[in-house]
Structure 1
Amino acid sequence: MLIRRETPADIDAIRTVTNLAFARGLEAELVDQLRADEGWIPELSLVADEVLGHVVCTRGYVGQVAALGLGPLSVLPSHQRRGVGKALMHAVLGAAEALGERAVVLLGDPGYYSRFGFRPASEFGITPPVAEWAPHFQARLFGEVPGGAFRYAEPFNRL
């Protein structure tokens, strides 16, 4: 499976995949807003094959220390449970580490994300923007990161 950076020609397909993967419909708009935000990191917006899936990491912070916020991760429903999400996760985490990032933080199912080395963020002293998120708020560290409150890229605040 080919994993590559998104291109401008992929934007409509990414929007479609994201809308089909999430029932709420807010996630596709979030990706569009993130793309226009200063926290956008083009090297960390990846697609699988013919845009069967998409994952993105954007600039976030643990206190004042730069980190990444991962999400959304979207896979076409017809291609879920076929390794697309797994390939995207491995690729984006590898790219993040290669770029020298120190931490990736996300909100998601611990049962799914633990297979990629994510652990409860509280184990690292990292707290979520919303206290109720704590059971699903996770981090994967590549380097030393002091504890503190995590802050996503600004478009996440509009959800």
Structure 2
Amino acid sequence: MTLVVRPEQPSDVAAIESLTTAAFLDAPHTSHTEQHIVNALRRAGQLTVSLVAEDGSTIVGHVAVSPVAISGGRNDTEHWYGLGPISVAPARQREGIGSRLMEAALAELRRLGAAGCVLLGDPHYYGRFGFRSEPRLVLPGVPPEYFQALALQGGLPSGIVSYHRAFEAQAPAP
């Protein structure tokens, strides 16, 4: 496997959409709108980090990172991002592609000077990267153990986290 992780290019958009659809097709706890979320973030100019994992000429993974808002408005609530969705082709899962994408996304956030990152996901998987459930950070309507944070510099803020309205995206009307 010659895996290359690189920034998304305009010519990758259709492949990312297909990959994301396939990756979440049989996933539990999803509304199957992840591909629409990525597209809506891109259209809104809110896709801060968009990386693909490419094996040869085939895109086998993707990760999206976008800004989040944290109530409180203090300095420690600025420069926080939400990671996700992260997608790996079903036939290529459990090969370390997701881990490579996570590490690359976190490295890019550090390069950008991000204060921290939040995500919604399996605590056992994301704990490997330093993410922890933090009672001071809340995503309403979500079991707290699945909403996790990682401070990249400084401390953890307190407040209610809001994702961009692109996360409300649905399938376009036919």
Runs of 4 or more consecutive aligned structure 1 residues displaced over 3 Å after TM superposition = none
Unaligned runs of 5+ in 2: 26-30
Partner-residue secondary structure (3-state), 1:52: strand
CA contact (8 A) 1:55 1:89 kept: yes
Q: CA deviation at 1:158?
A: 4.3
| 1:32 counterpart residue number | 39
Greater share of residues in helix: 1
> 2:143 aligned to 133, 143, 148, which one?
133
CA distance in 2: counterparts of 1:32 and 1:101, whole angstroms: 23
- Please give the residue correspondences for 1:34-113 in structure 2 after superposition, counting only pairs within 5 Å: 34-41=41-48, 44-49=49-54, 50-63=58-71, 64=73, 65-66=77-78, 67-113=80-126
CA distance in 2: counterparts of 1:147 and 1:75, whole angstroms: 32
Partner-residue secondary structure (3-state), 1:25: coil
CA distance in 1: counterparts of 2:88 and 2:7, whole angstroms: 16
> 1:22 aligned to 19, 24, 27, which one?
24
CA distance in 2: counterparts of 1:38 and 1:53, whole angstroms: 21
CA distance in 1: counterparts of 2:15 and 2:169, whole angstroms: 23
Amino acid at match of 2:151: L
CA contact (8 A) 1:37 1:154 kept: no
Amino acid at match of 2:144: A
| 1:9 counterpart residue number | 11
Q: How many residues align?
A: 154
CA contact (8 A) 1:2 1:48 kept: yes
Question: What is the identity percentage for the equivalent residue pairs of Structure 1 and Structure 2?
Answer: 38
Please report the TM-score for the alignment, with normalisation by the length of structure 2: 0.83
Residue-by-residue CA offset, 1:9-44 (whole Å, 9 max, x unaligned):
000000111000002431111111111124321xx1
1:9/1:38 Cα in 2 relative to 1: closer, same or farther (>3 Å)?
closer
Residue-by-residue CA offset, 1:35-86 (whole Å, 9 max, x unaligned):
1124321xx1000013100001001122232310110000000100001000
Amino acid at match of 1:139: A
Amino acid at match of 1:47: V
Rg larger for: 2
| 1:155 counterpart residue number | 166
Unaligned runs of 5+ in 1: none
Q: CA deviation at 1:89?
A: 0.3
CA distance in 2: counterparts of 1:15 and 1:98, whole angstroms: 27
